[in-house]
Amino acid sequence: MRILLLLPFLAACSVYPTFVAKKVVELEIPAATLQSLACESHNGAIVVTGAATETIKLRCEMSVRGVTQEEADGNLAQLDLGREATDTQLKLFGRYPRTELQNRSPGFAFTLTAPAKLALQLTTHNGDVTTNGVTGPVAVTTHNGRIGGQVDGAQVTATTHNGDIALQVGGSGNFEGAIETHNGDVQLVFAGARNAVIEASTHNGRLTATGAATVVEARRSSLRANVGTGGGKLVVTTHNGDVTVR
């Protein structure tokens, strides 16, 4: 008898929420006094383009699931854009009731055009992160996704647990930071007049330095190379994948 009573409950729990509801929020935010921008998404890509502007143009695509369309639409009404701001700092993030929607795949995909000089801190658990034309320091974290684009600033920190990292480095002067992926390849292309001492390592993969990079020391699982005259220290690590610097 007890088993029979549990069966309807188990069947209800096994229903997959296949219906999806979506909406788009677009904003323009004054940014003349800002020095840093943080953006967080649990599920969704983040794209930031630097420009000569004193505003931030924001497009956020929100989505969520439900076992019926009516439920999905109701869940969508609970999604909101979070903003925390001071005169110099702005944080953007997806806001929703986590307990109620934890199995409904709430997603927030951000596309931003912002002042190029801003310091960026970009975080997503599931999604790609792309930057282009930014001249401030960049810090990127994604658990499952690719990190790519171009960075023209002097400092970058990029970490992904599952995904490739492919960055083009522009600008001039010393370049430093840390780049790491647990499962994926790393490709760095130096297109500007940067100076860096690169320390690269991999547990399972190949290490290659050509073009703008001059090999100083090469071992089976580590490589040291200079770009330009050397200068800033850039640590590049992958656990399973290749590292290519050129």
Per-residue confidence (pLDDT) for residue 14, from 0 to 100: 55
Is the confidence at residue 174, as pLDDT, over 50? yes
Is the confidence at residue 11, as pLDDT, over 80? no
- Percent over 90 (pLDDT), the chain: 90
Per-residue confidence (pLDDT) for residue 9, from 0 to 100: 41
CA–CA distance, 58 with 60 (Å, rounded to integer): 6
CA–CA distance, 34 with 13 (Å, rounded to integer): 46
Q: Within a 10 A sphere around the Cβ of 239, how many other Cβ atoms? A: 15
Is the confidence at residue 6, as pLDDT, over 50? no
How do residues 192-217 score in pLDDT, each as one tens digit? Answer: 899 999 999 999 999 999 999 999 99
Is the confidence at residue 233, as pLDDT, over 50? yes
CA distances from 81 to 61, 89, 144, 223 (A): 10, 16, 22, 44
| Full-model pTM | 0.91
Mean pLDDT over the full length of the chain: 93
The 3-class SS string of the chain reads CHHHHHHHHHHHHCCCCCEEEEEEEEEEEECCCCCEEEEEEEECCEEEEEECCCEEEEEEEEEEEECCHHHHHHHHCCCEEEEEECCCEEEEEEECCHHHHCCCCCEEEEEEEEECCCEEEEEEEECCEEEEEECCCEEEEEEECCEEEEECCCEEEEEEEECCEEEEECCEEECEEEEEEEECCEEEEECCEEEEEEEEEEEECCEEECCCEEEEEECCCEEEEEECCCCEEEEEEEEECCEEEC
Contact (CB, 8 A) for 228 and 196: yes
Residue 28, H or E segment: strand 19-30
Is the confidence at residue 168, as pLDDT, over 70? yes
Per-residue confidence (pLDDT) for residue 16, from 0 to 100: 85
Per-residue confidence (pLDDT) for residue 3, from 0 to 100: 44
Is the confidence at residue 5, as pLDDT, over 80? no
Per-residue confidence (pLDDT) for residue 188, from 0 to 100: 97
The model's confidence at residue 166, banded by pLDDT at 50, 70 and 90, is very high
Mean pLDDT of 172-195: 95
Per-residue confidence (pLDDT) for residue 23, from 0 to 100: 98
Per-residue confidence (pLDDT) for residue 42, from 0 to 100: 86
Mean pLDDT of 62-83: 97
- Percent over 70 (pLDDT), the chain: 94
Per-residue confidence (pLDDT) for residue 231, from 0 to 100: 86
Mean pLDDT of 12-33: 89
